[in-house]
């Protein structure tokens, strides 16, 4: 396999490149398939003539091209008229499937593509290039997610609907709305896929509270998205909105993957269209790009790709990365070309596969290495290249450091405040408010079949302890009981101080017998280990109930309080009373 990328800005560039490619192809023992990628900033009549000439010179080649704002050739970006990359496969093959969404539905195209994939059981990787609104792509990507899990997918969108001038072309057709799928296959073909983000969360967690469809966010924490961007970033809904907001995407976790979504448009009502799907209820944060993190991760990819020993490298990068890095854009991509040429383009959405699902991401760099034949020996490790940045980027990096340090300090302070707000200061158990919240969460589990018991207990004759020994000894008694509860409770159980000398214990995934056994153990341990100054012993009374699926926090407390009252009245204190009279079926017995 050989890869030959060129930039074309004149007739002589075209002639020279085709002459050189012809000579290099003649020097190969065999050419099984020639794939030609073409990127153009604008597809004019002259550009179409160039495509025809290339097709005429190499009639057996597979051709796929894009109209994009910036291309990537040999690790640098450019706005030249046209770039072209020839990839000659000696033993492997390439098939290109093109789907025009103005002529067929996105889902039907996905079904047809899945059938096509079955003809190539040795597929190593699939590249996708799309044009048109992201809503056109969704059904296609969802459908082809059924493809064999071993197949890697990568690619990019030349247009996400906000630009309108994206285009896909082949030697025969042009598409404003559609997908070109490139199937790389062969028993001797190996592929290595790497990706990186480099964006970091900024500020607090917020919740998507209302959406219209999958891409339009109506509200975040009940506020219009533009109000969020205006409050925290000073970004207004004006002519500069896209330029200013693109590098501050929403940042969240989904299926164990960190994902970013950049704003695509802000509507007059303050809602926003984002570059890929979001869901109501997802926790999001604003985020910012860290130039040093971006370049450092590019260096990691270089080292990983070097070990793979690629003969060809393809790159898809997000337009936002280009905007953020500015003069340092080339530094991110030049690292990879130590091992092979690099060719690709900047996208308005990057296509990738995670946990089987093929999706559109934002802010991502994708690097794909291809090689024919196995490795003969592991190459020597390469020393990391020093990361040097433009002065303007350096200033951003210092600001990033300030933001990260300030955010860390704020998060530590907030964690302490949350702990103080949730903890009873005397016993270090959960306070009443947090106990309520824990029980509410546990009741959600009860409703799906996970049983829970609730214990309510208090210290017998606690007023007498305060009267006879003083409040200091009363506090010590409360602390002793709290420590004992923490020692007896299992990992998933939760003890809390309800108030005064009353405690609550939630027992998760227990039946009636187990709940009573734990309550008895608590009662016996209190009597054995909690000793008063005069040699007497503390005792406690405990009520035990099981939660029902239709219980609320309030109704469950009333049941537990009734059981505790019966323990004191009928049991003569220092006793356990289980009350099942109001309990409905909530789990195993």
Q: Is residue 533 very low, low, confident or very high in pLDDT (cuts 50, 70, 90)?
A: confident
Higher-scoring residue by pLDDT: 104, 79:
104
| CATH code, domain carrying 494 | 3.30.70.270
Q: What is the pLDDT of residues 221-245, one digit of tens each?
A: 999 999 999 988 889 999 889 888 8
588: in domain: no
Q: What is the pLDDT of residues 292-305, one digit of tens each?
A: 788 888 888 888 88
Higher-scoring residue by pLDDT: 391, 168:
168
pLDDT at 588: 39
β-strand 250-254 against 283-289: which pairing, if any?
antiparallel
* Shared domain check, 338 and 266: no
pLDDT at 222: 94
Other C-beta atoms closer than 10 Å to the C-beta of 419 total: 11
Final residue in a domain of this structure, among 267, 289, 311: 289
pLDDT at 413: 77
* Shared domain check, 18 and 167: yes
* Shared domain check, 22 and 146: yes
pLDDT at 382: 66
Work out the percent of the chain whose per-residue pLDDT is above 70: 90
Work out the percent of the chain whose per-residue pLDDT is above 90: 52
pLDDT at 402: 63
382: in domain: no
**CA separation (Å) from 550 to 436, 482, 513, 586?**
16, 30, 22, 9
The answer, yes or no, to whether residue 78 has pLDDT greater than 60, is: no
pLDDT at 69: 79
Structure token digits, residue 563 = 């059981």
pTM confidence score: 0.69
589: in domain: no
The answer, yes or no, to whether residue 395 has pLDDT greater than 60, is: no
Average pLDDT for 180-194: 95
Q: Is residue 217 very low, low, confident or very high in pLDDT (cuts 50, 70, 90)?
A: very high
151: in domain: yes
For 230, residues 6+ apart whose C-beta sits below 8 A from its C-beta are: 236
Q: What is the pLDDT of residues 413-461, one digit of tens each?
A: 777 777 777 788 898 899 988 899 999 999 998 988 899 999 999 999 8
587: in domain: no
* Shared domain check, 317 and 300: yes
10: in domain: yes
* Shared domain check, 350 and 266: no
pLDDT at 28: 95
Higher-scoring residue by pLDDT: 202, 139:
139
Number of domains in the chain: 4
pLDDT at 324: 80
* Shared domain check, 219 and 327: no
The answer, yes or no, to whether residue 257 has pLDDT greater than 90, is: no
Determine the number of helices (DSSP H) and then strands (DSSP E) in the chain. 15, 30
* Shared domain check, 407 and 308: no
* Shared domain check, 554 and 492: yes
- Cα four-point dihedral sign 388, 391, 396, 398: positive
The answer, yes or no, to whether residue 375 has pLDDT greater than 80, is: no
The answer, yes or no, to whether residue 586 has pLDDT greater than 50, is: no
Q: Is residue 127 very low, low, confident or very high in pLDDT (cuts 50, 70, 90)?
A: very high
Q: What is the mean pLDDT of the chain?
A: 87
Q: What is the pLDDT of residues 297-327, one digit of tens each?
A: 888 888 888 889 999 999 999 888 888 877 6
Structure token digits, residue 221 = 């924490």
Higher-scoring residue by pLDDT: 161, 171:
171
* Shared domain check, 459 and 416: no
pLDDT at 332: 76
The answer, yes or no, to whether residue 365 has pLDDT greater than 70, is: yes
Alpha helices in 43-197 (DSSP H): 45-57, 106-118, 134-144
* Shared domain check, 461 and 334: no
pLDDT at 172: 82
Higher-scoring residue by pLDDT: 564, 585:
564
Q: What is the pLDDT of residues 455-504, one digit of tens each?
A: 999 999 899 888 888 888 999 999 999 999 988 888 889 999 988 899 99
* Shared domain check, 205 and 122: no
Final residue in a domain of this structure, among 289, 317, 344: 289
Average pLDDT for 332-336: 66
Structure token digits, residue 281 = 């209820």
pLDDT at 589: 32
**Cα pseudo-dihedral 548, 554, 558, 560, rounded to 10:** 60
Final residue in a domain of this structure, among 264, 289, 314: 289
584: in domain: no
* Shared domain check, 273 and 393: no
Most confident of the ranges 23-27, 437-441, 524-528: 23-27
For residue 490, the enclosing domain spans 432-578
CA distance linking residue 314 with residue 301, whole number of Å:
13
343: in domain: yes
């Amino acid at each position: 396999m050989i890869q030959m990328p060129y930039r074309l800005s004149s007739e002589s560039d075209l002639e020279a490149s085709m002459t050189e490619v012809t000579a290099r192809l003649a020097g190969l023992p065999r050419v099984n398939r020639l794939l030609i990628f073409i990127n153009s900033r604008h597809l004019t009549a002259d550009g179409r003539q160039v495509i025809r000439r290339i097709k005429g010179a190499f009639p057996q080649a597979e051709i796929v091209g894009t109209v994009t704002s910036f291309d990537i050739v040999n690790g640098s970006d450019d706005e030249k008229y046209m770039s072209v990359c020839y990839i000659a496969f000696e033993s492997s093959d390439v098939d290109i499937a093109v789907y025009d969404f103005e002529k067929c539905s996105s889902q039907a195209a996905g079904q047809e593509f899945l059938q096509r994939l079955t003809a190539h059981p040795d597929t190593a990787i699939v590249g996708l290039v799309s044009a048109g609104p992201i809503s056109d792509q969704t059904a296609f990507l969802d459908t082809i997610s059924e493809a064999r899990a071993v197949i890697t997918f990568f690619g990019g969108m030349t247009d996400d609907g906000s630009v309108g001038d994206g285009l896909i072309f082949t030697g025969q057709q042009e598409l404003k709305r559609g997908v070109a799928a490139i199937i790389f296959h062969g028993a001797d073909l190996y592929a290595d896929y790497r990706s990186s983000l480099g964006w970091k969360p900024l500020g607090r967690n917020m919740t998507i509270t209302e959406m219209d469809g999958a891409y339009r966010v109506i509200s975040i924490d009940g506020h219009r998205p533009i109000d969020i961007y205006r409050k925290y970033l000073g970004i207004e809904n004006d002519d500069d909105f896209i330029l200013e907001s693109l590098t501050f995407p929403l940042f969240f976790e989904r299926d164990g993957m960190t994902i970013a979504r950049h704003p695509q448009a802000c509507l007059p009502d303050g809602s926003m269209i984002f570059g890929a799907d979001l869901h109501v209820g997802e926790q999001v944060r604003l985020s910012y790009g860290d130039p040093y993190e971006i370049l450092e991760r590019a260096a990691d990819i270089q080292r990983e790709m070097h070990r793979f020993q690629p003969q060809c490298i393809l790159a898809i990068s997000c337009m936002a990365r280009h905007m953020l890095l500015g003069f340092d854009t080339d530094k991110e991509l030049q690292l990879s070309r130590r091992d092979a040429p690099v060719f690709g383009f900047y996208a308005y959405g990057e296509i990738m596969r995670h946990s089987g699902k093929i999706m559109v991401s934002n802010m991502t760099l994708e690097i794909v290495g291809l090689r024919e034949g196995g490795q003969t020996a592991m190459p020597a490790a390469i020393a990391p290249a020093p990361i040097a940045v433009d002065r303007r980027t350096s200033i951003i990096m210092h600001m990033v450091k300030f933001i990260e340090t300030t955010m860390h300090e704020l998060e530590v302070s907030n964690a302490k405040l949350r702990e103080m707000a949730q903890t009873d200061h005397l016993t270090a158990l959960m306070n009443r408010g947090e106990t309520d919240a824990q029980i509410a969460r546990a009741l959600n589990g009860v409703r799906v079949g996970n049983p829970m018991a609730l214990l309510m207990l208090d210290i017998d004759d606690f007023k007498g302890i305060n009267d006879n020994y003083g409040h200091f000894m009363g506090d010590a008694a409360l602390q002793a009981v709290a420590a004992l509860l923490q020692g007896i409770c299992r990992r998933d159980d939760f003890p809390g101080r309800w108030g005064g000398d009353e405690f609550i214990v939630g027992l998760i995934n227990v039946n009636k017998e187990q709940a009573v056994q734990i309550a008895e153990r608590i009662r016996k341990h209190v009597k054995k280990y909690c000793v008063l100054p005069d040699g007497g012993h503390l005792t406690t009374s405990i009520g035990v109930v099981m939660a029902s699926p239709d219980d609320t926090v309030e109704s469950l407390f009333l049941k537990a309080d009734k059981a505790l009252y019966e323990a004191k009245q009928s049991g003569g204190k220092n006793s356990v009373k289980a009350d099942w009279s109001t309990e409905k079926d909530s789990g195993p017995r």
